[in-house]
Chains A and B, each alone.
Chain A
């Protein structure tokens, strides 16, 4: 016998999901519908005209000379590494704290993962640690997490000294620029993920490679379409083009491109809204005991994809919030070197102290344009109540 829903969630305790774009989607529905009709009129539903249109719009937005649409941010990393010339067994220095794709993409591209610890403020790969572990000729993959860029100046300096190839995992970093240059364009290339909860999110999996290098762009474009060079985008007969490299199928769906085009027109507004919500969180959580670290604020070089805080008693707080209908995410509970899939590297606790500490304390709170400041109030009140026993 099910418990009546009202008994669990009276109106005042309405659920606050970790993510929703339903209100935004209702707003942009007329544009989405027009793009979907256009896709249906043209009759090609993947790797078609709408994808080509989105690639052009994305290149304009980011300033990249080439934006190559693929099926996911993970695929984008794998194909970018291959196109940037990663040789079998070649080493890639990646941060110990990130989503798994930052490291698994290296393995899938045939490379060897070398982990480096991150910086405590901002969670980017620590240039000093890169300098410690990198050998001449390695690749290095800075990852831009949550709301800001990794220390690109620091990484690029080490890269120059050691002749490292820089590939950016900028999957989360749309809208972030360093010295006026968009994330992903500071080395050989970068990626974007359009996973639905991303700052620019699709209704399914989608991703892209960003690069200014025409050869890398051409190779990625071939790899995503079974290694076929020449024209394939929006061009069925391209399936007869010769297979010059051993590729994959990583084509973007035109229906996803349709949603992304509609959302791209309001991306800057969404980013501004995310900043307002982040500021609201900051004001309300600044003096809460038990909240150990807030994201650094300030107008420059912040795009709040995720509002991540570090807290005491993280798992108990997660349970407390969940019990009150507030969704959270734990980005990320286990340092990458301690994941079972990297057990063969033989790392032990203590190898990556900063990453290990963050993994125990980090918590992502709801942050998306659909969210209201009132909902931020409620989340913060619950956090305060958890740590102080009072909600005021």
Chain B
């Protein structure tokens, strides 16, 4: 593979620095490896970069969702409205608290949850709306914010993939009562390990999350456990690495955005291949996702040319065996089902060279031009979703 989808060399420029940090932390006289001064500093700096939010670093983006839902009081008998299309934690974080995920279908073009569907899914048992930014596009959080306020429920923004994105001047993660970030290596602010963060302007919520991430302790009285909590903490080594890389995050985000713009400029108007909408407002560049009528054929076409791609989410969340028992029997998620057969992510990581970007774009254009005209006016048969 000459253009890998998952880049193996994300931190190559910082390898020596990483080694130095491992040594520094290992030998540090403080001998404090978890939730220490570096983590506190990382939280402070990240909060500052978001215009003064509270940031609570924790074990992963998935765990961040769990901590917030738990801190919001979600429990057995409660409902949380989640997208029918997305990553497993959207449903699992709800199920694991004993609550019920209510699946709302997505918008066919943005692939993010459809606000009308969310509003229809609200019942007296609804406690939280949990939209997710997906791939390249932020959810319609302005409308979802209004819906949440009108119905008196809370808004938890799954912004795990969208760190650095901005919609109408407000950063991803800052639209909800809380947002979350994930720093797993492939994310926009990825790092060499697992970690995540909760972002909020609500100090009470932040305080509750802080306790829940470390066994229900208050940070002052060791081994006094106010609440049943989790072990979802942040390692000092990774905090040090993130502090080092925070100043260069804008450059990497800019590189991703520039690659996305280059792709979108080449792909607009291509038959059978739909790129994300142009522009930067509300765009995120975790992965660059196309909607393709003959998705698997494009994947093969790229693979033959040494270009990696990835089809996320082969089936809607309510069609996953773990979550099917929670899906309304008469529930329909046609747009989620179509997304599962059409969406394909192509490489966008910041280490790509211009030459690689052009090669990927050429291959997609070649595919569309060679295949689609012969089939114009006729859509490919939808591929049935296994078990769907």
Contact = CB atoms under 8 A, between A and B. Distances in A.
Given A101-B215, A334-B224, A205 B34 contact: yes
Interface stretch (B17-25, B255-263, B330-338, B358-366): B17-25
Contact of A255 (B10, B34, B233, B237): B237
Interface stretch (B271-279, B290-298, B311-319): B311-319
A100 B8 contact: no
Interface string A95-115: 000011100100110100000
A236 interface: yes
Contact of B194 (A71, A101, A330, A331): A71
Given A43-B7, A43-B8, A75 B231 contact: yes
Interface stretch (B57-65, B131-139, B161-169): B57-65
Contact of B312 (A44, A240, A334): A240
Interface string A248-266: 1111011110010000000
B321 A242 contact: yes
A331 B223 CA distance: 8
Contacts of A334: 223-224
Contacts of A74: 215, 230-231
A22 B23 CA distance: 10
Interface in B51-82: 59-63, 66
Contact of A204 (B7, B23, B34): B34
B193 A36 contact: no
A348 interface: no
Contacts of B310: 237, 240
A203 interface: yes
A256 B387 CA distance: 38
Contacts, number: 193
A237 to B, nearest CB: 7
A386 interface: no
A25 interface: yes
Interface stretch (A26-34, A178-186, A213-221): A26-34
Contacts of A36: 18-19, 22
Contacts of B29: 22
Interface residues of A, number: 68
A247 B88 contact: yes
A339 interface: yes
Interface string A178-217: 0000000000000000011000001111000000000000
Contact of A46 (B184, B230, B231, B311): B184
Given A25-B27, A43-B9, A339-B225, A100 B92 contact: no
B26 A25 contact: yes
Nearest to A241: B314
B47 interface: no
Nearest to B312: A240
A73 B233 CA distance: 13
B31 interface: yes
Interface in B212-232: 215-216, 222-231
Contacts of A341: 216, 225-229
B175 interface: no
Contact of A226 (B27, B66, B89): B89
A332 B215 CA distance: 14
A99 B222 CA distance: 11
Given A196-B34, A203-B33, A29 B23 contact: yes
A340 B216 CA distance: 10
Given A20-B31, A244-B322, A100 B215 contact: yes
A313 interface: no
B193 A255 contact: yes
Nearest to A100: B225
A295 interface: no
A36 B298 CA distance: 37
B321 A243 contact: yes
A372 interface: no
Interface string A52-92: 00000000000000000001111100000000000010000
A244 B323 CA distance: 8
Interface in A239-292: 239-240, 242-251, 253-256, 259
B350 interface: no
A110 B23 CA distance: 40
A228 B27 CA distance: 38
B340 to A, nearest CB: 11
A336 to B, nearest CB: 8
A114 to B, nearest CB: 15
B47 to A, nearest CB: 22
A36 B9 CA distance: 14
B225 A244 contact: no
Given A21-B31, A196-B33, A246 B323 contact: yes
A193 to B, nearest CB: 9
B282 to A, nearest CB: 25
Interface hub of A21, A88, A236 (most chain B Cβ within 10 A) = A236
B238 interface: yes
A330 B224 CA distance: 11
B43 interface: no
A333 interface: yes
B275 to A, nearest CB: 22
B91 interface: yes
12 contacts: A20-B31, A39-B192, A45-B193, A100-B223, A104-B229, A203-B33, A203-B237, A204-B235, A236-B6, A242-B315, A333-B224, A341-B227
Given A249-B62, A250-B59, 20 more contacts: A33-B19, A36-B18, A37-B19, A39-B192, A46-B193, A104-B229, A203-B22, A226-B87, A227-B322, A248-B62, A248-B63, A251-B60, A255-B192, A255-B193, A256-B235, A330-B222, A331-B223, A339-B225, A341-B225, A341-B229
**4 A-B pairs closest in CB distance:** A43-B8, A204-B235, A249-B62, A74-B231
